[in-house]
């Protein structure tokens, strides 16, 4: 047993309102630069829908992730090492800008400079890639809210698969269809295919917190990682010629703050916490023969921090004490392992993703309410989950490689919780049968309710700081030897690097401890006077 | 002039290449990349880029064989003078043609595809002039001085000169006798070598062969020195993008 700690995320899809606030704040923070115009480290897709980049789930085309080779060993779907080095001069399966979308701006000058005339001047769209006038034809969320679904809906790879393999047609007619939002970031996988396909070895998983990062100084622009990642969450910066990806906002996480997307999420549906896992079991878990067993296999990698033996091993393997403490209080562990309501996205890619999702019950509740039934009644809901087979099968294709049982179990637990808590809140004698049938107890149901519905800031984000484990080392190292303004460039100087903005090195601003505490108090407080 | 071109220039180029590489490795890790334009356009690139790269790799192998393997060694291996000439003419010629066809397509793509052209810096254009020039001059030299039955034997002049460079006693007189076309090719080639560290060509020195031997997943511990501000390092490289 080799214990490692990972900061993982869970998203409660029922609460996502598809507002894209997370995407926008993430973009403002990380990708509002030249060369990254088309990049969204966080994107929100409407499902059914094609996603971003278009049809990224079609691995027969894009060849991301891992597969088992003839001998049952893990191999990159892209091909072996020699084969990929041989095709390095032109990666045959690299998505081009058009597969994402061509970013644009508008020629706003026309609005003020146009000569006086009878017609209103318009700001014509201009491509940010070629600088030429362009026709806007696609974007990162073009099919938002099922826009154009009758026409494009069939292009969703999951819809195609259901139709071809199971024979279910998903209706896209209004009133017959269902939809939900799927916010996506990099999964910070336990077995990252992006890193495995990087010829330079520039993509690494951090030992302390499992965050997967691209070393910008080591990346040489071979573009293999873009293909390697089955979720298409590594992007090529076309100005700097380097790969970039979601960083899980590590500068924030290191000081105990949640990521920007979590912090700003309007639905407050994101959870961040520590998960302990056994690094020795990762490869075996990723190589189980049956795709449908991958969910369970990944669950088996996770360790229980309450187990004294695990705690001892963690201590031995250098996991700081407060990280083990945090793992015990981790909301992510609770949702994944204790309540078993969260599921991984596309486990069949065998990367062991670490951003998990609580499947949405709302399409079921909605369909039920529309038919005139009480959509919150446990009995009705249980029946409906099965009766509405298409959403169930669709969700299973997303979260459990097609096995509907874990999805149904998760939905039943959520349904039972709803019905139970409604009784509690209305002051009725709660009927515990539904809860017990779903494998919960009244107490765990209330705990789960507190985590999912009340969802206090402190409960959603339990993030130990990087500093706590080795505070002294940090204190000594975080402060530069001399004043940071003394250096080349002078105070606040902003420079362009040799290959575009942000190349070369710039110093980060230092945040004082006081400011940090002030900020964190403000973000956590519920009362006016604390502000 | 003879001494300058064949006695001094090679060493200047060598010093520029080595110090330039060291300097760039030290100060510009971030700029060290292929600067691929594949995300803009991939159809033409998929044909042209492998053509060029494989062509130029064979050309490189041919040059190493021609310049640094003495004729006596290949003779000892049973590869006679005429057989060698045919190999050099057809093998080298084919590789050269492959490379030049590839690069011409790449230049065409660069010029006609708006996004790719926009991403082309002045530095790139300079590099292309010398790269294209070197390949073209090489092919001209080869094809104007060879027939299938007989060809200019550079292994008695250019190759000994190239080898004499290593003993620090360059035999410049040998080069002065070589045909003009060969001399032009050599000069352009040397300038191209000097340009490598300062252009995108530098990516050739990061050919990722270590990939064949490392484990798939890389784990790395956080660098404690990187937790706070990073000092600004002096850079010796000017901004080249537009
Ligand atoms: S989801 Fe993230 S960690 Fe996983 S393969 Fe893709 S980029 Fe790598
Ligand atoms: S901010 Fe939250 S609610 Fe809004 S789209 Fe993002 S994940 Fe959904």
The number of beta carbons lying within 10 Å of the beta carbon of residue B8 is 12
Is the pLDDT at A472 greater than 70? The verdict is no
pLDDT of residue A358: 97
B228 vs A478: CB contact, 8 Å cut-off? yes
A489 and A449, same domain (yes or no): no
A507 vs B229: CB contact, 8 Å cut-off? yes
- Per-residue b/e over A317-348, b at no fewer than 16 CB within 10 Å? bebbeebbbbbbebbbbbbbeebbbbbbbbbb
pLDDT of residue B174: 92
DSSP for A209-262, please give it: T--EEE-TTT-----HHHHH-TT--EEEETTTTEEEE--TTHHHHTTTPPPHHH
Q: Tokens for A68?
A: 């088992």
User: Before A385, cis peptide (omega within 30)?
Assistant: no
Task: Report how far ligand 1's centroid is from the alpha carbon of A228 (Å).
Answer: 8
- A131 touches B at CB < 8 Å: yes
Phi and psi at residue A182, to the nearest 5°: -125, 100
The residue-averaged pLDDT of A189-212 equals 96
Query: What pairs with residue A273 in β-bridges?
Result: A8
Q: What is the dihedral of CA A258, A229, A205, A319, to 10 degrees?
A: 60
Is the pLDDT at A497 greater than 60? The verdict is no
Evaluate whether A408 touches A386 at the Cβ level (below 8 Å).
Answer: yes
C-alpha A198/C-alpha A207 separation (Å) is 18
Evaluate whether B132 touches B160 at the Cβ level (below 8 Å).
Answer: no
ipTM: 0.88
B31 vs A498: CB contact, 8 Å cut-off? yes
Listed range (A137-146, A242-251, A384-393) with the worst mean pLDDT? A384-393
Q: Tokens for B40?
A: 């803009």
Does the residue A166 lie in any domain? Answer: no
The number of beta carbons lying within 10 Å of the beta carbon of residue B232 is 18
B118 vs A484: CB contact, 8 Å cut-off? no
The residue-averaged pLDDT of B196-200 equals 95
The number of beta carbons lying within 10 Å of the beta carbon of residue A402 is 18
Q: Which residues contact B25 (CB under 8 A, 6 or more apart)?
A: B32
Is the pLDDT at A356 greater than 60? The verdict is yes
Instruction: Supply the mean pLDDT for chain B.
Output: 89
DSSP for A70-86, please give it: TTS-EEETT--HHHHHH
Residues of chain A contacting B233 with CB distance shorter than 8 Å: 488, 505
A303 and A431, same domain (yes or no): yes
Chain B interface test: which of A238, A323, A350, A471 (most B C-beta within 10 Å):
A238
A347 and A430, same domain (yes or no): yes
Which residue's CA is the nearest one to ligand 2's atom 4? Answer: A19
C-alpha A296/C-alpha A291 separation (Å) is 10
CB-based burial of residue B59 (10 Å sphere; 0-12 exposed, 13-18 middle, 19+ buried)?
buried
DSSP for A330-379, please give it: -HHHIIIIIS---EES-GGGSS--SEEEEPP-HHHHHHHHHTTS-TT-HH
Is the pLDDT at A466 greater than 90? The verdict is no
A383 and A504, same domain (yes or no): no
Is the pLDDT at A426 greater than 70? The verdict is yes
Is the pLDDT at B229 greater than 50? The verdict is no
A336 and A380, same domain (yes or no): yes
- A254 touches B at CB < 8 Å: yes
Instruction: Please tell me what DSSP assigns to residue B237.
Output: -
Query: What pairs with residue A12 in β-bridges?
Result: A358
β A203-206/B219-220 pair status: parallel
Listed range (A44-53, B138-147, B183-192, B219-228) with the worst mean pLDDT? B219-228
A223 vs B217: CB contact, 8 Å cut-off? no
pLDDT of residue A467: 62
DSSP for A506-527, please give it: -PPPP--HHHHHHHHHHHH--S
C-alpha A99/C-alpha A106 separation (Å) is 21
Chain A nearest-CA distance from B93, in A, is 22
CB-based burial of residue A303 (10 Å sphere; 0-12 exposed, 13-18 middle, 19+ buried)?
buried
- A220 touches B at CB < 8 Å: yes
A505 and A426, same domain (yes or no): no
Domain count within chain A: 2
* Among the partner residues B34, B210, B228, nearest to A480 by beta-carbon distance: B228
Confidence of residue A488 (pLDDT cuts 50, 70, 90): very low
Interface of A with B in 159-188 (CB under 8 A): none
Confidence of residue B226 (pLDDT cuts 50, 70, 90): low
* Among the partner residues B54, B210, B232, nearest to A507 by beta-carbon distance: B232
The residue-averaged pLDDT of A396-409 equals 94
Query: What pairs with residue A213 in β-bridges?
Result: A204
Task: Report how far ligand 2's centroid is from the alpha carbon of A23 (Å).
Answer: 8
Evaluate whether B185 touches B141 at the Cβ level (below 8 Å).
Answer: yes
Task: Report how far ligand 2's centroid is from the alpha carbon of B66 (Å).
Answer: 64
The number of beta carbons lying within 10 Å of the beta carbon of residue A446 is 17
Does the residue A154 lie in any domain? Answer: no
Does the residue A326 lie in any domain? Answer: yes
Query: What pairs with residue A274 in β-bridges?
Result: A7
pLDDT of residue A531: 57
B40 vs A129: CB contact, 8 Å cut-off? yes
Interface of A with B in 48-107 (CB under 8 A): 81-82, 85, 87-92, 94-97
A497 and A381, same domain (yes or no): no
Does the residue A220 lie in any domain? Answer: no
Q: Which residues of B define the annotated binding site for heme b?
A: 53, 63, 185, 203
Whole-angstrom distance between the N-terminal and C-terminal Cα of chain B?
Answer: 38
pLDDT of residue A495: 44
For residue A393, the enclosing domain spans 267-460
B36 vs A208: CB contact, 8 Å cut-off? no
Q: Which residues line ligand 2 (CB under 6 A)?
A: A 16-22, 44, 181, 183, 265-267, 269
Is the pLDDT at A489 greater than 60? The verdict is no
Instruction: Report, in angstroms and rounded to the nearest whole number, the Rg of chain B calculated over CA atoms.
Output: 21
* Among the partner residues A217, A236, A480, nearest to B29 by beta-carbon distance: A217
Does the residue A320 lie in any domain? Answer: yes
Listed range (A51-55, A207-211, B147-151, B166-170) with the worst mean pLDDT? B147-151
Is the pLDDT at A168 greater than 60? The verdict is yes
pLDDT of residue A520: 72
The residue-averaged pLDDT of B133-145 equals 94
Is the pLDDT at A327 greater than 90? The verdict is yes
A207 vs B49: CB contact, 8 Å cut-off? no
Residue that wins the pLDDT comparison between A223 and A526: A223
Cα A71 to its chain centre, rounded Å, is 32
Between chain A and chain B, how many beta carbons pairs sit less than 8 Å apart?
193
Instruction: Supply the mean pLDDT for chain A.
Output: 88
Please count the residues of chain A: 531
Does the residue A437 lie in any domain? Answer: yes
Chain A nearest-CA distance from B121, in A, is 10
C-alpha A493/C-alpha A488 separation (Å) is 9
pLDDT of residue A471: 54
pLDDT of residue A470: 53
Confidence of residue B183 (pLDDT cuts 50, 70, 90): very high
The CA angle B196-A242-A106, to the nearest 5 degrees, is 115
Domains and CATH numbers, chain B: 2-206 (1.20.950.20)
A329 and A390, same domain (yes or no): yes
Confidence of residue B225 (pLDDT cuts 50, 70, 90): low
Phi and psi at residue A524, to the nearest 5°: -100, -10
Which residue's CA is the nearest one to ligand 2's atom 1? Answer: A265
Residue that wins the pLDDT comparison between A303 and A363: A303
In short, whether A194's Cβ falls inside 6 Å of ligand 1 is yes
A393 and A365, same domain (yes or no): yes
Query: What pairs with residue A270 in β-bridges?
Result: A11
A502 and A421, same domain (yes or no): no
Nearest C-alpha in A relative to B52? A89
Is the pLDDT at B165 greater than 60? The verdict is yes
Containing A424, the helix (H) or strand (E) segment is helix A404-425
A392 and A424, same domain (yes or no): yes
Nearest atom, ligand 1, residue A64 CA:
5
Containing A105, the helix (H) or strand (E) segment is strand A104-106
Listed range (A151-155, A245-249, B27-31, B108-112) with the worst mean pLDDT? A151-155
Which strands sit side by side in the sheet containing A212-214, from one edge to the other?
A: A212-214, A203-206, B219-220
The residue-averaged pLDDT of B150-164 equals 90
Nearest C-alpha in A relative to B242? A500
Nearest C-alpha in B relative to A90? B46
C-alpha A22/C-alpha A15 separation (Å) is 13
A276 and A417, same domain (yes or no): yes
C-alpha A305/C-alpha A193 separation (Å) is 28
CATH number of residue A386's parent domain: 1.10.3650.10
């Amino acid at each position: 047993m080799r214990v490692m700690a990972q900061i993982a995320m869970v998203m409660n899809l029922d609460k996502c309102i598809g507002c894209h606030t997370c995407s926008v704040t993430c973009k403002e923070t990380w990708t509002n630069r030249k060369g990254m115009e088309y990049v969204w480290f966080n994107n929100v897709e409407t499902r059914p829908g094609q996603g971003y980049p278009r049809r990224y789930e079609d691995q027969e085309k894009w060849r991301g992730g891992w597969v088992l080779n003839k001998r049952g060993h893990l191999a990159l779907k892209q091909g072996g090492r020699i084969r990929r080095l041989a095709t390095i001069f032109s990666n045959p399966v690299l998505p081009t800008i058009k597969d994402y979308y061509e970013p644009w701006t508008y020629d706003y000058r026309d609005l003020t400079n146009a000569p006086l005339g009878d017609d209103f001047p318009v700001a014509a769209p201009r491509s940010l890639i070629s600088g030429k006038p362009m026709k806007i034809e696609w974007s990162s969320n073009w099919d938002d809210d099922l826009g154009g679904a009758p026409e494009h809906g069939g292009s969703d790879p999951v819809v195609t698969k259901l139709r071809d393999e199971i024979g279910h047609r998903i209706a896209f007619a209004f009133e017959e269809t269902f939809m939900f939002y799927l916010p996506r970031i990099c999964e910070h996988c336990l077995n990252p295919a992006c890193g495995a396909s990087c010829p330079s070895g520039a993509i690494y998983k951090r030992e302390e917190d499992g965050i997967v990062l691209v070393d910008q100084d080591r990346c040489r622009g071979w573009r293999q990682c873009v293909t390697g990642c089955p979720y298409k969450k590594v992007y090529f910066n076309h100005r700097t010629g380097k790969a970039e990806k979601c960083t899980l906002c590590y500068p924030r996480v290191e000081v105990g703050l949640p990521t920007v997307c979590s912090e700003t999420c309007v639905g407050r549906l994101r959870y961040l916490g520590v998960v302990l896992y056994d690094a020795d079991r990762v490869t075996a878990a990723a190589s189980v023969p049956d795709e449908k067993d991958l969910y369970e296999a990944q669950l088996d990698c996770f360790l229980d921090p309450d187990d004294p033996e695990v705690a001892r091993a963690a201590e031995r393997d250098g996991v700081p004490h407060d990280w083990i403490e945090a793992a015990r209080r981790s909301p992510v562990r609770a949702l994944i392992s204790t309540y078993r309501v969260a599921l991984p996205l596309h486990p069949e890619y065998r990367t062991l993703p670490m951003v998990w999702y609580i499947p949405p019950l709302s399409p079921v509740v909605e369909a039920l309410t529309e038919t005139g039934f009480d959509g919150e009644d446990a009995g009705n809901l249980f029946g409906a989950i099965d009766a509405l087979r298409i959403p169930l099968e669709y969700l299973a294709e997303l979260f459990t490689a097609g096995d509907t049982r874990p999805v149904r179990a998760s939905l039943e637990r959520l349904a039972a919780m709803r019905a139970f808590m409604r009784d509690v809140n209305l002051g009725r004698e709660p009927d515990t049968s539904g809860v017990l049938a779903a494998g919960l107890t009244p107490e765990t149901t209330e705990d789960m309710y507190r985590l999912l519905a009340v969802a206090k800031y402190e409960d959603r984000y339990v993030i130990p700081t990087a500093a706590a484990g080795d505070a002294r080392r940090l204190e000594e190292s975080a402060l530069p030897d001399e004043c940071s303004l003394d250096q080349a460039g002078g105070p606040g100087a902003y420079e362009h690097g040799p290959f575009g903005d942000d190349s070369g090195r710039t110093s980060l601003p230092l945040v004082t401890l006081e400011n940090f505490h002030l900020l964190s108090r403000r973000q956590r407080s519920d009362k006016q006077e604390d502000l | 002039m003879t001494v300058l071109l064949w006695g001094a220039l090679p060493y200047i180029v060598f010093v520029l290449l080595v110090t330039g590489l060291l300097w760039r490795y030290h100060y510009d890790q971030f700029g060290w990349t292929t600067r691929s334009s594949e995300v803009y356009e991939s159809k033409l690139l998929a044909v042209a880029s492998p053509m060029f790269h494989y062509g130029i790799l064979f050309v490189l192998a041919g040059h190493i064989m021609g310049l640094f393997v003495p004729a006596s060694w290949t003779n000892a291996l049973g590869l006679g003078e005429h057989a060698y000439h045919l190999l050099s003419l057809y093998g080298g010629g084919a590789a050269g043609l492959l490379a030049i066809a590839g690069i011409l397509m790449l230049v065409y793509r660069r010029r006609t595809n708006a996004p790719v052209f926009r991403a082309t810096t002045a530095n790139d254009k300079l590099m292309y002039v010398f790269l294209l020039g070197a390949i073209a001059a090489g092919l001209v030299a080869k094809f104007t001085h060879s027939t299938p039955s007989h060809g200019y034997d550079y292994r008695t002049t250019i190759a000994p000169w190239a080898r004499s460079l290593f003993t620090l006693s360059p035999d410049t007189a040998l080069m002065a006798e070589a045909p003009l076309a060969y001399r032009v090719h050599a000069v352009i080639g040397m300038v191209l070598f000097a340009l490598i560290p300062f252009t995108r060509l530098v990516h050739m020195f990061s050919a990722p062969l270590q990939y064949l031997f490392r484990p798939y997943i890389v784990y790395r511990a956080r660098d404690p020195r990187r937790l706070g501000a990073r000092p600004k390092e002096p850079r010796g490289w000017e901004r080249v993008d537009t």
